C-alpha cells in the first residue's frame, strides 16, 4: 500500500488554505487587540498618580482632585487618606505613591529622603471642640475633657491631631479623661456625629464640614498644624505629580482650602 504524500501549504486544497489563512488572520487581529490594550493600559498608567494625604484633607483634596482631572482631561488622581504617621510609614515601606500631603511637618520629615524636592507649606489648621447637635453633654470648654463623667474622644498621640491635642492640654494645664483614642481625626468626628461621645477634639475644618457644633478655645493657637506637600522621589510620573502639587498651591487650591476653613500662607 502506497503511503499518502503530505501536501505543502501551497499544494493543499483551496478551502483548506482559506481556513488556515482565516485562522492566521484571526490570530493577527487578536495580537493587535492585545497590543492595543497594553498600549492603552500603559497610557492610562502614564496619566495616573496616587496621592497620600492626611485624613483631614479628605473633602478638600477630593474636590481638588476632581477639578484637576477636569482641567487636565485624561488624567486620574487616586487618593489614600489616613493618619499622617501611618501614611509616612507606608511610604518608607515602599508603598507606591507619587505625592504626600501631611498634617504635620514631623511626618513629612520622616520621609524627607523620599521627596523629590523640599516640601512646601500649603495650609495650617487648628483644633476645635466638636459636640453633637444640641450639645447633650453641656460641654462648654476644654476643662470638660477632664470630666470622667463625660464621654470624650481624641486622636491617638501618634498622629498629628493627637499631638496637637496633647499640646493644648499641657498649655491649659488639663489632664484629659478620654474614653476612646482614635486612629485619625475623621474617626473622632464620626464618633461625635453619631452621638457616641459628648465631645471630641477635631480640626476647625472638620467642624465646618459636618453636622456638629464647634466650640473654640484659646489654647488651640498654641498647637497649630502645618500642612506640607511634596512630590515623592519614587514617583513613576514626576511631571503629573509636580503638576498636582502646583495645582494645590495655585489660586484654585487656595480658594478651596480657604473655603473649607484652612488658613493658607
The total domain count for the chain is 2
In a domain, 198, yes or no: yes
The parts of the chain modelled with pLDDT lower than 70 are 1-45
Distances (CA, A) of 252 to 43, 76, 117: 27, 18, 22
Q: What is the CATH classification number for the domain harbouring 234?
A: 3.40.190.10
Q: Residues 116, 138: one domain?
A: no
Q: Residues 107, 69: one domain?
A: yes
Residue 45: predicted pLDDT = 56
Q: Residues 146, 203: one domain?
A: yes
Q: Residues 132, 211: one domain?
A: yes
Q: Residues 61, 171: one domain?
A: no
Residue 67: predicted pLDDT = 98
Please, what is the average pLDDT of the chain?
87
Q: Could you tell me which of 96, 85, 48 has the C-alpha nearest to residue 232?
A: 96
In a domain, 31, yes or no: no
CA dihedral 60, 66, 69, 73 (to 10 degrees): -160
In a domain, 265, yes or no: no
Residue numbers of the domain that contains 153: 127-223
| Pairwise CA distance, residues 52 & 73, whole Å | 22
In a domain, 27, yes or no: no
Q: Residues 111, 230: one domain?
A: yes
In a domain, 37, yes or no: no
In a domain, 155, yes or no: yes
Q: Residues 59, 92: one domain?
A: yes
pLDDT in tens, 47-72: 999 999 999 999 999 999 999 999 99
In which region does residue 10 sit, left (phi positive, over 0), alpha (psi from -120 to 50) or beta (all else)? alpha
Q: Residues 232, 119: one domain?
A: yes
Q: Residues 118, 237: one domain?
A: yes
| Pairwise CA distance, residues 189 & 213, whole Å | 11
Q: Residues 176, 219: one domain?
A: yes
Q: Residues 131, 219: one domain?
A: yes
In a domain, 133, yes or no: yes
In which region does residue 173 sit, left (phi positive, over 0), alpha (psi from -120 to 50) or beta (all else)? left
Q: Residues 101, 146: one domain?
A: no
Residue 46: predicted pLDDT = 80
pLDDT in tens, 197-231: 999 999 999 999 999 999 999 999 888 999 999 99
Q: In the structure grid, which three cell numbers stand for residue 9, read together? A: 501549504
In a domain, 11, yes or no: no
Amino acid at each position: 500500500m502506497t503511503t499518502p504524500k503530505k501536501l505543502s501549504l501551497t499544494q493543499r486544497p483551496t478551502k483548506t488554505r482559506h481556513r488556515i489563512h482565516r485562522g492566521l488572520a484571526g490570530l493577527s487581529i487578536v495580537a493587535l487587540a492585545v497590543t492595543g490594550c497594553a498600549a492603552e493600559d500603559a497610557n492610562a498608567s502614564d496619566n495616573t498618580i496616587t496621592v497620600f494625604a492626611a485624613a483631614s484633607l479628605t473633602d478638600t483634596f477630593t474636590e481638588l482632585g476632581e477639578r484637576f482631572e477636569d482641567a487636565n482631561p485624561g488624567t486620574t488622581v487616586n487618593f489614600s487618606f489616613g493618619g499622617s504617621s501611618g501614611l509616612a510609614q507606608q511610604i518608607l515601606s515602599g508603598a507606591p505613591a507619587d505625592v504626600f500631603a501631611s498634617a504635620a511637618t514631623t511626618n513629612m520629615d520622616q520621609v524627607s529622603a523620599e521627596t523629590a524636592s523640599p516640601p512646601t507649606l500649603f495650609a495650617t489648621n487648628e483644633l476645635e471642640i466638636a459636640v453633637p447637635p444640641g450639645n447633650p453633654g453641656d460641654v462648654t470648654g476644654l476643662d470638660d475633657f477632664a470630666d470622667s463623667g463625660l464621654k470624650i474622644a481624641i486622636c491617638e498621640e501618634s498622629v498629628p491631631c493627637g499631638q496637637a491635642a496633647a499640646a493644648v492640654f499641657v498649655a491649659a494645664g488639663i489632664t484629659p479623661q478620654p474614653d476612646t483614642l482614635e486612629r485619625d481625626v475623621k474617626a473622632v468626628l464620626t464618633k461625635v456625629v453619631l452621638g457616641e461621645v459628648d465631645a471630641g477634639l477635631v480640626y476647625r475644618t472638620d467642624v465646618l464640614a459636618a453636622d456638629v457644633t464647634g466650640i473654640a478655645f484659646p489654647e488651640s493657637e498654641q498647637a497649630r498644624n502645618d500642612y506640607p506637600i511634596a512630590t515623592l522621589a519614587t514617583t513613576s510620573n514626576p511631571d503629573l505629580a509636580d503638576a498636582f502639587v502646583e495645582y494645590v498651591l495655585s489660586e484654585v487650591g487656595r480658594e478651596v482650602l480657604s473655603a473649607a476653613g484652612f488658613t493658607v500662607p
